Amino acid sequence: MKILFATSEIAPWVKTGGLGDVAGALPAALRAGGHDVRVLVPAYPALLKSFPGAAEIARPHWLGGLLPTPGLREAVAPDGTPLLLLDYAPYFARAGNPYLGPEGRDWLDNHLRFGLLSRVAAWIGSEASTLDWQPDVIHCHDWQTGLAPAYLNYLPGRLAKSLFTVHNLAFQGLFDHASLFELGLPDAAWGMHGVEFYGYLSFLKAGLQHADSISTVSPSYAREIQTDEEGMGMAGLLRHRSGQLSGILNGIDTTLWNPATDPHLERTYSARHPEGKAANKAALQAQLGLEPRPDLPLLAVVSRLTEQKGLDLLLDMAPQILKTPAQLVVLGSGGPALEHGFTALAHKHKSRCAVTIGFDEALAHRIEAGADIFLMPSRFEPCGLNQMYSLRYGTPPLVRATGGLADTVIDAADTRHGNGFVFAPATTEALLQAVQRAIAAWHDPVRWRSLQKRGMARDSSWEGAARHYAALYASL
């Protein structure tokens, strides 16, 4: 099958979260299964720098509304995946984060930037396309490409089917009514059965409403988002479309995230030869200025610092954990309250707690390898990748039972299958209890080894997910 991925991020070039990882890995897994997958992504500076020779192969014209005429450039990723770079410098030649300006606020023209991305995806899937390649299915991801199924629906000459994958229902791409005209959508698109959502235009709603099929990144999250509590206003629509909604668990990039070959580590190790893990812990403690204490459990977080991730719960009870005694390492960035809160915590407990504000890929790898227990107390978590990295790195994850966390982590109370620690209520007490259970287990080396071994043996590769996606494309 011929599949066009339409995405606003792609690892390793542009990534703010799990979506970037998925777009960087799933196409190659599908291609390995014999499918012809190409990726449409904005030509951000990082991509143009990596592919300076990318030649222009088309210029989509007459896209409607205020949308400009961009160029499409062709490149090939190192894994062999063809890339279509959407080149319009006034929109995409901006440094840093793809969505936010230097002040940390959304770019004011995000509707046009990602409207253009969606519109060009639909153009490629329509009769208007001048490319010599025609996709059977356009696979859209999150709000940034949610308008593509709407354009396919409202404009003439449609040739491709669409699949819309929700990586996070919280990001809804809301813009005011005037954007309908600017984006070249017809008046008929405004309304409950179109792209309108409580008086706004929602890119997310547009995708949920108009895609031929909808998926999300874990079976549990697919169920949860159909409830009024967790549906973020979309539950009614999702229940209505439940026949076309499925949940497919993400894989991870097992080449990048492999403790046996990871170049970021102090020493590599594996399930059969786990000795190197201790050297990584010592190196991490030294790098972050923590006391060199092999005898203390080292707990870790690598995350966006937001309410979603439940890290306010951790901040509340962190002083108690540190007294247990234990050490805590945090790497992340996000809301100012959590950034300040964790920074202040580290100042107060210098030998026990280290906090790094920022995005640091190398340090993320060194933390996965050097920590003993990985914390993800998320309020909701569509899939989550870090718990899968942790399992693979022999760092049992401690998670809240939600979304993809519930689908990947089995509590140690199950002595045959347990690979981590799971708690349910989103409260500091429940989190503290789970942490205490995990620390007690860590002090029992025999039990801990078998927990680590089971986690390291879990197959988190993309092959299984790719087979599910291929079946979904075929059903369209």
Query: In angstroms, what is the minimal distance from the CB of 225 to ligand ADP?
Result: 15
- Looking at beta carbons only, is 72 or 311 nearer to ligand ADP? 311
Of residues 126 and 303, the one with the C-beta less far from ligand ADP: 303
Smallest distance, Å, CB 305 to ligand ADP?
Answer: 8
**Which has the closest alpha carbon to 115: 200, 180, 48?**
180
**Of 38 and 309, which has the nearer Cβ to ligand ADP?**
309
Q: Are 372 and 442 in contact (CB under 8 A)?
A: yes
Nearer to ligand ADP, 70 or 382 (CB): 382
Q: How far is the CB of 307 from ligand ADP (least distance, A)?
A: 12
If the CB atoms of residues 150 and 399 are measured against ligand ADP, the closer one turns out to be 399
Q: Which is nearer to ligand ADP, 57 or 170 (CB)?
A: 170
181 vs 359, which CB is nearer to ligand ADP? 359
Using an 8 Å Cβ cutoff, are 23 and 41 in contact?
Answer: yes
Q: Which residues bind ligand ADP (CB under 6 A)?
A: 17-18, 21, 302-304, 331-333, 359-361, 364, 383-386
CB of 51 to ligand ADP, least distance (A): 23
Nearest-approach distance from CB 386 to ligand ADP, in angstroms:
5
